[in-house]
Amino acid sequence: MKKDIHPKDYRLVVFKDMSNDYTFLSKSTVKTRETIVFEDGKEYPLIKLEISHTSHPFYTGKMKLVDTAGRVDKFKSRYQKHIDQKASK
């Protein structure tokens, strides 16, 4: 194995699933500017997630569309404009 290819600056970080506000604490090297006070009363760096094991359809068994940014609606509205333009020609 190659030496010195893995990061050495692991620290505790809180990950938060934005679709259901589930939070968990884990080690990571990811950089962030945001912080949060966790259940133990200590302040940790915060990483926001779109989806986690508590909201992913594979783990929950429910087919649920998580669209926090409205991307699907934006796509549908752009595509509808294209169809309307084509129909008017």
**pLDDT exceeds 70 at position 89:** no
The answer to whether 25 touches 42, Cβ cutoff 8 Å, is no
Give the tens place of pLDDT for each residue, 13-41. Answer: 999 988 888 899 999 999 999 999 999 99
Q: pTM above 0.85? A: no
Alpha-carbon span 26 to 67, nearest angstrom: 25
> Which residue would you say has higher pLDDT here, 60 or 4?
4
How many degrees, rounded to 5, is the angle at CA 14 between CA 40 and CA 30? 145
Which residues make Cβ contacts (< 8 Å) with residue 82, sequence separation at least 6?
none
Of the candidates 15, 47, 50, which has an alpha carbon nearest to the alpha carbon of residue 33? Answer: 47
Kindly report, residue by residue over 34-78, the tens digit of the pLDDT: 999 999 999 999 999 888 777 766 666 666 555 556 666 777 777
